[in-house]
Amino acid sequence: MAKGAHQKGKVLRLCQLLLERSDEEHPISTQALIQALEGWDIHAERKSIYADMETLREQGLDVQHRRGRDGGWFIGQRTFQLPELKLLVDAVQSSRFITSRKSSALIHKLESLASVHQARQLQRQVYDTGRAKSLNERVYYSIDKLHTALSSGKAVSFRYFEYNVKKERVFRRGGRRYTVSPYGLIWDSSNYYLAGYDHQKKELRHYRVDRMEDLALTGLPLEGREALGTLDLASYSQRHFGMFGGRTAQLSLRCRNSMVGVVLDRFGQESILVPDGPEHFVVTVEAVFSTQMMGWLFGLGTAVELRSPAWAVAEYRGQLSKVLGQYQADP
């Protein structure tokens, strides 16, 4: 091959070198760039490097140059800065709906958006208590299909399963397919859920995406538009503790003042807190009263008291009595 045959790719190679090997803490000297280009049979002179860097700047790349003994060329602003990439890596690593293998693949792709030096900082283990990874490898592609269904306005069908003590899949409804008009996807407690209108039950329900099998788009039009039209997914997720089902109610809670942050984190900044004496406040919230909700209340101990409605107080007392009964019997 004639000398200089690779010269046309010179600017592209320089761009690649800068993106992969440089950052503010690791600039590349002009001489190092010239030597690296030689590895691709590309000849370069110092003056031409400066001209090429100006070309890259004109194309929108934030090429910076630092003079001095430890100076050189580097990329300043990138599409994603290192702190942003760390947040994305943490989210991928701690998400239950993404399998371990898919997490590794996604993190590797995120690393390619940083320099090789910064990528080492992304190779870290995130510990998230109780966040076991999904065993369903296809969940990643199921999410993509669900987004397609949402954008096209078509219903989906799937089989839905749970696990037994042998870790075997047990399909609900005897393995018959569910047909659901999708409304939106909810990410709650590191799980993805589909909120939609169940064609058989004729009601709004939610389903864990990693428990879906054989998900398929259908040609069926959406149903339940009246039920779904006024639904706000953010408030829907807020009402359902851990996405457990139950009876929706206006719950009155009497809380110690130290619980203000806990209540606002759970129910939102718009919650109305009414002072009740010097050390307490009362708040009324709309929530689905489920066993998960009772568990949240129990975890707060005497700092939060459920005051009403009466039926919810009775159910909570009954649940506490059942649990206490398990520990009163002789071993």
Please tell me the distance from the alpha carbon of residue 222 to that of residue 209, in angstroms, as a whole number.
19
pLDDT value at residue 59:
93
DSSP for residue 23: B
Taking the C-alpha atoms of residue 239 and residue 248, their distance in angstroms, rounded to an integer, is: 8
Integer angstrom CA distances of residue 208 from 58, 92, 104, 187: 48, 17, 22, 10
- The pLDDT of residue 247 is 79
| Segment 69-86, tens digit of pLDDT | 888 999 999 999 888 998
Q: What is the pLDDT at residue 186? A: 81
pLDDT score of 129 = 40
Q: How far is CA 57 from CA 34, 65, 75, in A?
A: 19, 11, 10
Q: What are the chain's domains?
A: 7-75 (1.10.10), 82-122 (no CATH), 139-226 (2.30.30), 241-326 (3.30.70)
**Spans of the chain, pLDDT less than 70:** 1-5, 96-97, 123-137, 165, 189-190, 227-245, 329-331
pLDDT, one tens digit per residue, over 37-46 is 999 999 999 9
Give the pLDDT confidence score for residue 2 in this predicted structure: 45
Give me the pLDDT at residue 5, please.
59
pLDDT digits (tens, 9 = 90+) for 83-128: 899 888 878 877 766 777 888 888 889 999 999 998 888 865 444 4
H helix count then E strand count, the chain: 12, 12
Q: By the 8 A CB rule, do 125 and 239 touch?
A: no
Q: Give the strand pairing for 273-275 and 280-289.
A: antiparallel
